[in-house]
Amino acid sequence: MAALKYILVSLPLLNGQSANATWSNLYQSVSNIGFDIPIYKFQMPDLRVGTLDSLLSIGDDLTKTNAFVEGVTCKIRREIEEIERFTGSQSLSLCVNGVPVEIYFTRFSWDEAKYPVMAPIREIVNTIQESVAKLDIDLKVRVAEYTNAKNHLSNILRQETGSLLVRNLSSLVRAEDIVSSEHLTTLLVVVSKFRQKDWMAKYERLSTFVVPKSSRKLHEDNDYALYNVTLFRNVTEIFKATAHNEGFQVREFEFDPTTMGRQLEELERLQCDKDHLHKILQQWCYASYGEAFSAWIHICTIQLFSESILRYGLPPTFLAAALAPKGKDEKKVRRILDQLSGGANSTFWNDEEDDLAMVTLIGGEGAAYPYVSLTVNLPT
């Protein structure tokens, strides 16, 4: 899945200007660049600020939590992509509570039921961290279960379809191919395709008491042929050793007419198990992606809010917006955001050393601008 880059920003309300007036200026300025640039007001909750010291102390945790939650969201999305690629199924729209992720993001509304705004910010962050960590563990467990079932089935299928040196021989041997009595037994021998004439010329002399003209080709693949040979039981070990020295591989095999039926039942059971686990994993991924994505956007919102308070001070007086400029339009949009933040003509924001100092002080990509800025990559 491709990604659509949004920049989530907050702008200070300068000179007593209202949020609506700042939005109007922003919308009009961006529209002058191009009407195809997505731009939306971003709804900010009235979070419990606490003290500035508490916001400063949680700054690093917010950055780490944001990266962790985004990482888990991407893991689930990659698993969905892998499932769709493996099965050849058509990609479904990724949703949050039935709403496509881009619409959920651009029309974001804080989930008060899950994260009460009167709870301390650190408590909300810890709640999100714990819930997403559980999703991460669940994903690993479910992927491991499905992978194990798939690998087990693949191993069984390889035994059924692989080289004659390793594959199961039950489906290739019939009752009439085997002689088993008190004194006689039948061995199965794998012979290189290029040495079949050599085998037919030598097998009767590989030991004493080999039944003449008892060897017949039962099956052939790209590299090998499977032959049977009947001999007296008491010379079996001598025959095996001599055959091995001549480059012929004797396969251990005990004919059981019920084996084939049991193998088919086992294959069917393993296939059903794999399909069932695949379906459960797919359903879980689609459902959990929405939960993880919602948690991520809530963390982005908290980070934008916290950094805005640290940047602009109290009480909270800023406008939050989400924009998705493409290519060269991003530089133009950034210039507009600079102007509306009062930093367009300031050498402070254009000095690399000062930029680095602000990054160290506040953290986050928004420290490089006179406004707070976060990047949100949405799957499309």
Sign of the dihedral through C-alpha 308, 309, 313, 318: positive
Measured distance CA(167)–CA(259) in Å, rounded: 14
- Exposure of 102 by Cβ count < 10 A (0-12 exposed, 13-18 middle, 19+ buried)? middle
Measured distance CA(315)–CA(306) in Å, rounded: 12
Contact between 156 and 266 (Cβ < 8 Å):
yes
The structure tokens listed for 128 are 């999100």
pLDDT at 343: 67
Measured distance CA(166)–CA(38) in Å, rounded: 60
The structure tokens listed for 144 are 């491991």
pLDDT at 242: 96
The structure tokens listed for 335 are 């210039």
pLDDT mean for each 10 residues of the chain (380 residues):
86 90 94 89 90 78 94 94 77 85 95 94 95 97 92 77 80 87 95 95 95 95 94 96 96 76 75 89 93 97 94 89 92 93 55 41 58 90
Rounded-to-10 torsion of CA 18, 22, 25, 31: -130
The label of the residue with tokens 């659509």 reads 4
Residue 322, beta-bridge partner list: 8, 40
pLDDT at 2: 66
Rounded-to-10 torsion of CA 334, 337, 341, 343: 30
Residue 189, beta-bridge partner list: 227, 250
Measured distance CA(206)–CA(195) in Å, rounded: 15
The pTM of the full predicted model, rounded to 2 decimals, is 0.74
pLDDT at 15: 83
Max CA pair span of the chain: 109
Q: Of 121, 119, 96, which is closest to residue 295 (Cα–Cα)?
A: 96
Q: Which residues, 6 or more positions from 21, have their beta carbon under 8 angstroms from its beta carbon?
A: none
Measured distance CA(28)–CA(42) in Å, rounded: 17
Rounded to 5°, angle at Cα 213 from 212 and 217: 140
How many Cα neighbours within 13 Å face the side chain of 238? 12
Contact between 6 and 330 (Cβ < 8 Å):
no
Measured distance CA(29)–CA(11) in Å, rounded: 14
pLDDT at 228: 96
